[in-house]
Amino acid sequence: MDYHKAYKFHTEPQQSSNYAYLSQFIYGGIDGGVTTFAVIAGAVGAGFDVKVIIILGIANLIADGFSMSVGSYLSSKSEQEKHEKYKKMEHWGVDNIPESEREEIREIYRSKGLKGELLENVVQAITADKETWVNVMMKDEHNMVMDQETPRKKAIATFLSFLLIGFIPLASFLSGIDINQAFIMSCLLTSLSFTLIGFLKASINHTSIIKGIGETLLLGTTAAGLAYFAGSFLEKTIM
């Protein structure tokens, strides 16, 4: 058996670019849909004019979308910097105290149930290649795997998904129909978008599709309901 190839494959990141971008799309879309729909519901509850609702909705799309994408960028960049810091430490250990680092590899795989000749073969195979050695230490000792997507691309994916899904609750108000009809249409379209997002979220997380859709719909409905009644209450008590 080629232990070196087996463990090199084991330590390489297996997540595809499509999976990473779909994940960013889902969570950016959830936030975009929920926050924009909540803003619109609050404005309708307060009895605002259609023009005001459109202005608030667009302002929310741009400001919150940008804020979320910046947060995604900074978080991803911080994780990459942390990963590089620990990787440099492991490289130093492999170069300067190899026996100690080799013993750590031995302990890691002994705890996984390997022993005797098999354990020694695995340790020898891993430590024969410096990058494989370091990657094993990163994954099994620090529980860290390098994200293959750049912070900039992840931020762009988040921003675009926020705009795309977040625009759905606002679309009906741009059609020129009565404000009440526009709100009903917005509720229906937003529910459909939440259903799609919930389905995608459950699919990539390998969880119950019904549960995923239900959670997303509940989140959106709760946020919109709170915003609507808050807007209605404030309009009656303050204005």
> Which pLDDT belongs to residue 116?
87
Q: What's the rounded Cα separation, in Å, for the pair 149 and 15? A: 10
Query: In the chain, what percentage of residues exceed pLDDT 90?
Result: 13
Question: For residue 132, is pLDDT > 50?
Answer: yes
Token pair of 156 as six digits: 């762009």
> Which pLDDT belongs to residue 7?
45
Query: In the chain, what percentage of residues exceed pLDDT 70?
Result: 90
pLDDT tens, 8-61?
434 444 444 556 667 778 888 888 888 888 888 888 888 899 999 999 999 999
Q: Where are the chain's structural domains?
A: 3-234
Which residue bears the tokens 């795989």? 109
Single pTM value for the model? 0.71
Would you say the C-alpha torsion 37, 186, 206, 73 has a positive or negative sign? negative
Do residues 34 and 219 lie in contact, with contact meaning Cβ atoms separated by under 8 Å?
yes
pLDDT tens, 77-129?
888 888 888 889 888 988 899 888 888 888 888 888 888 888 888 888 888 88
> Which pLDDT belongs to residue 19?
62
> Which pLDDT belongs to residue 219?
81
176 three-class SS: coil
Question: For residue 200, is pLDDT > 50?
Answer: yes
Tell me the average pLDDT across 137-156: 79
Token pair of 124 as six digits: 């020898």
